[in-house]
Amino acid sequence: MTGPTVQPVPRTIHEDIRVVEHFLQAVEADDFDTIEYLSADELEWLIAGMTTVRGKDRVMKVLRSGEGKFRTELKTHRVTAADGSVLMERTDAWIIGRLRIVLWVYGVFEVRDGKVTLWRDYFDYLALARATARGLVGLVFPFVVKKL
């Protein structure tokens, strides 16, 4: 009888996942130095259906413009990676003052040489509208807002 035929997962897949997890933890913490360090110069940030922000400097400018006005909380449900791509299913809470919008998001990231080169998020716009309505109602009745 021979041993198992399944080979261990290459370390680089785990490294790519760790880079993305660390990147998103930095987004959540408004840790702009870490976000910038983990971003490739050619970083592209795209929320599907909206404009693409190209270049690390532009992405950082957009992120920094929300400092103190906009917060994000993230909960990862599933993550997988292959060939430099990391796919992540998560729930995001976008917080503006007392308004809390909780939404399922599917993220696609590309990592090269330990740097994020692509950050693309997808979500359902009808679900966004419902989450926004729930968040607005939650300003008066906080129990209707979903927790992460």
Catalytic residues: 92, 121
To which H or E segment does residue 121 belong? strand 115-122
Q: What is the biggest distance separating any 2 CA atoms in the chain, rounded to whole angstroms?
A: 67
Question: Which structure tokens are listed for 91?
Answer: 């729930």
Nearest to 35 by CA among 55, 12, 18, 60: 60
Distance CA 51, CA 54 (A): 9
φ, ψ at 31 (rounded to 5°) = -90, 80
**Which residue carries 């198992």 as its tokens?**
4
Distance CA 25, CA 20 (A): 8
